[in-house]
Structure 1
Amino acid sequence: MSFPRLLQSDYVDHEERQAELENMEFQVFRMRENMKEISKKYDIVGIDQTKQDHWVIVFKDANEDQAQIMVNDCKRPFKGHWDSCMQVEFKDERTVHIADIKGHEDQGYGSILMNYLKDLVRDYNFQYITGDLVERDWDHLNRLTYFYEKHNFEVDVDNDAQKGEIIWYGDL
């Protein structure tokens, strides 16, 4: 539960409210400690909350050809591993290509990563985000299609060849 919802909720008794406040306090403490560790090796680009109201740290590792945007959930200590990662390639001066998204599904991490990727694209004046759907994606194609369409991508799927493409032209 988020802090504002916790304060406004009439359905939470005192013990539940106290437990939620202690959980939030612990996550903030963990966030501070994780940020110290992450910043030793990576660039921290932000903090956010998942749809389950967990605090996460968003960080990146980039060079001129590619980048990784990663998420660390503050419910656990940072041990050098991310909870979710988006790998992208800078194809040309106008296009960023999503090579892969890794991590746990249905946690909200992918949406957080996508929003930070869009910020990166805007900050560096890229115009497009592209990606490929490949055969290994076919067992979860509906979920991927929903995800990309939710983020305003055009999704083109060839079911016979089990491949497809995605493209984002900006939030029009």
Structure 2
Amino acid sequence: MIGTAFLEENKSKDDIKEELDTLEIQLFRMQNNIKEIAKKWEIISIDQTNDNNWVVIYADKGTEACQIMLHDCDAAFRGDWNAAIQAEYKNENTIHIADIKGQQNKGYGSILMNYLKELAHNENVQYITGDIVERDFDHVNRLMHFYRKHNFDVKIDHTEQYGEIICNER
């Protein structure tokens, strides 16, 4: 399969070698990153970003809150995540998104949202909710697009600079 993809794109041997070398480096980093992350957090999965970088997804779950984090294997893990969703359990039926942090336009938020939804499903939580607050209004259009893309109902009051989201997949 891989050989066919390479042939179809008419890549040179040097291009193929460079891609394989990059992949090998990412896999080596991933292995080391997983070892370091697993010392403190629960490893959930590995995934790929839009630009085909491998990422490690891990979590810090408590009884009142959880944080799902992501580390991009383009660099060694040094104790900090590249992106995270912080959420709290409002009750047995609701996870409330407190914040999403990380670099924009890398696909990190979408990867994390998918794992938050999976967590909610596995824990039989019916609702994922959240607020859009005043500090978010400098990028409210981007947030609206993001949440709608992930099947959330988004209600925005531009006058009050406040909004609410609720996942409507359930």
Kindly report the root-mean-square deviation, in angstroms, between the aligned alpha carbons of the 2 structures: 1.4
1:55 alignment partner in structure 2: 54
Q: Percent identity?
A: 49
Contact kept? 1:71, 1:113, Cα under 8 Å: yes
Change (3 A) 1:24 1:95: same
Unpaired runs of 5+ in structure 1? Answer: none
Aligned to 1:93: 92
The offset of 1:16, in angstroms, is 1.0
Match runs of 1:1-172 below 5 Å: 7=6, 9-170=8-169
8 Å CA contact 1:44–1:60 kept in 2: the answer is yes
Cα deviation, residue 10, structure 1: 1.9
Change (3 A) 1:11 1:21: same
- Separation in 2 of the partners of 1:137 and 1:8? 46
Gaps of at least 5 residues in structure 2 are none
Q: TM-score, normalization: structure 2?
A: 0.95
- CA 1:4 to 1:140, structure 2 compared with 1: closer, same or farther past 3 Å? farther
Structure 1 19/106 Cα, relative in aligned 2: closer, same or farther at 3 Å?
same
Residue-by-residue CA offset, 1:99-140 (whole Å, 9 max, x unaligned): 000110101000000000000000000001000001111111
SS in 2 for 1:36: helix
- Aligned partners of 2:109, 2:97: CA distance in 1, in Å? 12
| Pairwise CA distance, 1:14 | 1.5
How many positions carry a matched residue from both structures? Answer: 169
Give the structure-1-normalised TM-score: 0.94
Partner SS for 2:142: helix
- Separation in structure 1 between the aligned mates of residue 119 and residue 139 of structure 2, nearest angstrom: 27
